[in-house]
Structure 1
Amino acid sequence: MDEISATAHTRRFKKGERLYQPLDESDSLYIVHKGFVRIYRLTENGKEQLVRFLGPGDFTGEMALFRSSLHDSFAEATRDTAVCVITKDDLQPLLATYPAISLKILAEFSNRLEQSERQTTLVATEKVENRLAMFLVELLEEGSNIATLPMTKKDLASFLGTTPETISRKLGAMEDRGLIRHISNREIAIMDADELLLG
């Protein structure tokens, strides 16, 4: 950890500022220290498709550690954000010295692949209300019934393959049925998770 800390440097990004964009050289690992970053791509018709949402402790740019490449997505701070940046040239020797770091990164690759496959299956096979219900329940911490949305409804709609209007309508219908209760714009109480998943 001391050796990694010695090679890392902190960069700060204002809300809306991009860490990188398509065709930028991918030569660094970005670890979110404070704030949030959304990773998205643009479809051929210019529509945003949210890929991932990163919070403190999450990272992006890991492909740079294994091969030279260009970024194919946008990374944008959704609020004032602090990121630790480690270049490929600094980190590769550490990966050779400490294989456990490589194993951790590979484990994260595996997790992301699993999430991506699950997301693809959801969008292809489940109705919007089912996708939304599963997403909300997955946000619950053990022993809590409060789901805190990590993103705006616009980003959530992109992530679930629908529109912000549909998200608002479905959330309203769930609340009318007593399945959820809005506490604030980002916090939602799940009144009955089992019933919510059953639709």
Structure 2
Amino acid sequence: MEEMLVFLREFPFFKQLEVEELQKVSSYVITRTYDKGVNVFLEDGDGDELYIIQSGVVKIYRENEAREIILAIFTEGDFFGEMAVLENELMRSASAKTMEETTLYVLKRHDFHWLMNNNPQISLKIMQTALQRLRKANELITDLTILDARTRVTRGLLRLIEDHGVRHEDGIWIDLKLTHQQIADMTGTVRETVTKIMLELQNQNTIKIDKKKIFIYDIAKFEQLTGGI
């Protein structure tokens, strides 16, 4: 319980809560641990839970003609599943699956509603995050419909830098282990095309890959390849 309280106290939505309120929230939270490759929920299923990632990685995806399209990847400190708990009896609009062993803190809809009713600031932060995610979703849709494969891949990497970039003196790491197939699923391409593009970028000394993590040497130069996002 103490570990959960420490985590929730640092979670952006809960920082303004008093100790008593935070303890009440923690009493509602359910802890679940999932192995790698397990679905947390499926598209079109009933949704009455909000998920906060205590540790691990989760991808949000949709099925399209027998292949996955990855819409987002969330890591420690992120939350997902909020749309289905904001309104009663709303179906899940996408599926969620773990990319490694993952521990989630789970809030049921009625407890989440109590929390928002008693703390209006949380509702505002939820809406701000939802709008940011909608903007990114619109950008992704545009990319998938009008851009060539190379630009889709490089812009996809830029989005990963936005969400998961870790700066170092000589560049930026994308702090995720990604296969070429996963990058293809994020950018509407096929694995063979991604492999070719990533090899070209490495040969140009634009990126390097170490243990499935991608390093970008010069972010300004990289943005020029894509026209930014």
Q: TM-score, normalised by structure 1?
A: 0.89
Give the ranges of 4+ consecutive aligned residues of structure 1 lying more than 4 Å apart after TM superposition: none
Measured against aligned partners, the alpha-carbon deviations of 1:27-47 in whole angstroms (never above 9, x if no partner) come to: 11011110011111111x222
Q: Which amino acid aligns with 1:39?
A: I
Task: Report how many aligned residue pairs link the two structures.
Answer: 197
Q: Which amino acid aligns with 1:2?
A: Q
Separation in structure 2 between the aligned mates of residue 143 and residue 185 of structure 1, nearest angstrom: 17
Asked if structure 1 preserves the Cα contact closer than 8 Å seen for 2:206 and 2:216, the reply is yes
Q: Which residue of 1 aligns with 2:77?
A: 57
Counterparts in 2 of 1:188 and 1:48: CA distance versus 1, 3 Å: closer
Aligned positions of 1:185-196 closer than 5 A: 185-196=211-222
Q: CA RMSD in A?
A: 1.9
Higher relative contact order (CA 8 A, sep 6+): 1
Asked if structure 1 preserves the Cα contact closer than 8 Å seen for 2:62 and 2:94, the reply is yes
Aligned positions of 1:37-56 closer than 5 A: 37-43=58-64, 45-56=65-76
- Give the number of the structure whose residues are more often helix, by fraction: 2
Measured against aligned partners, the alpha-carbon deviations of 1:13-54 in whole angstroms (never above 9, x if no partner) come to: 1111111113432011011110011111111x2221111111
Separation in structure 2 between the aligned mates of residue 88 and residue 15 of structure 1, nearest angstrom: 26
Q: TM-score, normalised by structure 2?
A: 0.78
Name the % identity. 25
Q: Which amino acid aligns with 1:13?
A: Y
Asked if structure 2 preserves the Cα contact closer than 8 Å seen for 1:32 and 1:82, the reply is yes
Q: Which residue of 2 aligns with 1:77?
A: 98
Query: Does the residue aligned with 1:32 lie in a helix, a strand or coil?
Result: strand
What is the Cα deviation at residue 143 of structure 1?
Answer: 5.1
Asked if structure 2 preserves the Cα contact closer than 8 Å seen for 1:149 and 1:186, the reply is no
Query: Does the residue aligned with 2:166 lie in a helix, a strand or coil?
Result: coil
Structure 2: gaps of 5 or more residues: 1-21
What is the Cα deviation at residue 130 of structure 1?
Answer: 2.2
Query: Does the residue aligned with 1:69 lie in a helix, a strand or coil?
Result: coil
Separation in structure 1 between the aligned mates of residue 38 and residue 97 of structure 2, nearest angstrom: 6
